[in-house]
Structure 1
Amino acid sequence: MSSDHEIYQIAAQLAAEDKTPTVALIKARLTQSLPLARVIKGLQAWQNNPKIAETSKPEVKRQKTDNKRSLTEAEVVGLIKQAIAPLQVEIEELKAKLTKLS
């Protein structure tokens, strides 16, 4: 599981427990230590799209090998959003670095 996906999963678990996902609660449940900025960006990505945690990497692999079923439009959109979420986080990190350099 990627670290970003783990952040999304933890945020979703917290929400399912009727707790507001926060950076501190997420950091407390991580299986590995991550930079604070990465946790913040991951939480922001999850807040923008809470369904991002629903599609896991093993599920994507299973769907690719299952030729008997086509993906629905909603599933394709979900997969695309999941794929671009880490890129959006990286873009925000790069923007922050550029701002500091300016």
Structure 2
Amino acid sequence: MSSEITQALEQAIASLIAEGKEPSVALIKSRLSRPLPMPLIIQALQAWKKNARVPNIEQTPAPQNQEARIAQLEQQVASLAARLEQLEQQSGSS
């Protein structure tokens, strides 16, 4: 899926350049065959302006249900709490 997004963005930018137009978010969006979130388009345009190429862009799907989202967030909180505790121990022993 990510390669499809990257290819679509590359094709949109290439077609604009071939027409002698400066790529912009609005012009790229108008050239896409399917809608993409604005942050992905902005990320691609910024990378293209810096490196003259579109990076491999991935769009992560949202969790299917609320329970999965809650479980994911709980896992993140536990991981962050463990990292915080480790940092506190390091700073306490210094």
> With structure 2 as the length reference, what TM-score do the two structures score?
0.51
Deviation at 1:6, TM superposition (A): 1.2
Matches within 5 A, 1:1-102: 2-50=4-52, 52=53, 85-86=55-56
Mapped partners of 1:12, 1:30: distance in 2: 12
SS in 1 for 2:35: coil
Q: Considering fraction of residues, name the structure with more helix.
A: 1
Structure 2, unaligned runs of 5 or more: 60-94
Mapped partners of 2:49, 2:10: distance in 1: 9
| Percent of matched pairs sharing the same residue | 39
Mapped partners of 2:4, 2:23: distance in 1: 19
Residue identity in the other structure for 2:26: A
Aligned to 1:57: none
Q: Which moved more, 1:6-15 or 1:19-28?
A: 6-15
Following superposition, which runs of at least 4 residues in structure 1 exceed 6 angstroms of deviation? none
Deviation at 1:49, TM superposition (A): 2.7
Mapped partners of 1:21, 1:33: distance in 2: 17
Root-mean-square deviation over aligned CA pairs: 2.4
Q: Which moved more, 1:29-38 or 1:10-19?
A: 10-19
Structure 1, unaligned runs of 5 or more: 54-84, 91-102
SS in 1 for 2:34: coil
Which structure has the larger Rg? 2
Residue identity in the other structure for 2:8: E
